[in-house]
Amino acid sequence: MIMKPVAIVTGGAGFIGSHMVDLLLEKGFSVRVVDSFIGGHEKNLAHVENNPDVSVERIDIREITADNTIFKDAKFVFHFAGIGDIVPSIEQPLDYMEVNVQGTARVLEAARQNKVQKFVYAASSSCYGLADTPTKEDHPIEPMYPYALSKYQGEQAAFHWHKVYGLPVNTVRIFNAYGTRVRTTGAYGAVFGVFFKQKLAGKPFTVVGDGTQARDFIYVTDVARAFYAAADTDKIGETFNLGAGDPQPINKLIELLGGDVVYVPKRPGEPDCTWAEIGKITTQLDWKPTVSFEEGVGKMVAEIDHWNDAPLWEPNSIAKATETWFKYMS
């Protein structure tokens, strides 16, 4: 009997992680999911619940030890686990350092001790701060809030394990991922979750600023494909920017969804445009985006009932939720 190769997905019950699980199964892997189920959700894995090639370890990455058996004989590790959002990171910076930095170090050490063939770290384009666009991988680093700092320090830890211990590492700096299974609850900030709930409730869309700000949205299945390409390559010790390379204004999303608009104040420290220069990933990993923005939004609208239980944000609640943002970022 031929044994299937093993891949580990930390944060595998989350938005991107669950799509990574799907792709790995398609590629013929046995997948081990590591997730605390604080940010991830069982429903994201419901469709593979009875698949014998999927196992789930319910554990916080801060509790992972180097001899954890789930890492035994693993070929690839895809590290998505962590905590996100800007405002909570400003309010609780130590939590972000503990999970996104110390937790990452524990996953790295487990991967090293078990001699995995490739470790791919989910980095964040937030490390660039208010960047020049299009943004290349060698752009100066300027994290502007604790979430961005913690993700960048986690990335630096990954490269340190590569330099000192020889762990084969690549990192992928994600710009603006979107798609089905995107998180629906938690802190204010994820534009799709906010708008979809408002559409379901018949409320106007709360547009920040004038809506001309643009984001380099990349559909989640294209994200998963990029991460697989970063693992299934001879290249080691590389950083790749990941976006569609085609920024879309928020007003374009409003146009696709259709509905009334109410405007809320622009937030300090937010870029007018995010734009990944993707020449490196397309050339070196033979990857390119395949899902257009219109198609991706359409896929999400087809599952809009997923947002029925999401919080409904309105101008007053948004103002309250972002008080800390304006206080520290102004």
The single residue listed with the structure tokens 């969804």 is: 257
Whether residue 147 lies in the annotated active site: yes
Query: Which contiguous run of DSSP H or E holds residue 57?
Result: strand 54-58
Query: 139, 178, 173, 177: which is closest to 242 by C-alpha?
Result: 173
- Distance, CA of 108 to CA of 206 (rounded, Å): 40
3-state secondary structure of 152: helix
Instruction: List the structure tokens of 179.
Output: 């798609």
Q: Exposed/middle/buried for 199, CB within 10 Å: 0-12, 13-18, 19+? A: middle
- Spot the catalytic one: 121, 147, 152, 178: 147
Query: Is the Cα dihedral 193, 195, 201, 206 positive or negative?
Result: positive
Tell me the DSSP string of 22-48: HHHHHTT-EEEEEE-SSSS-GGGGGGG
Catalytic residues: 147
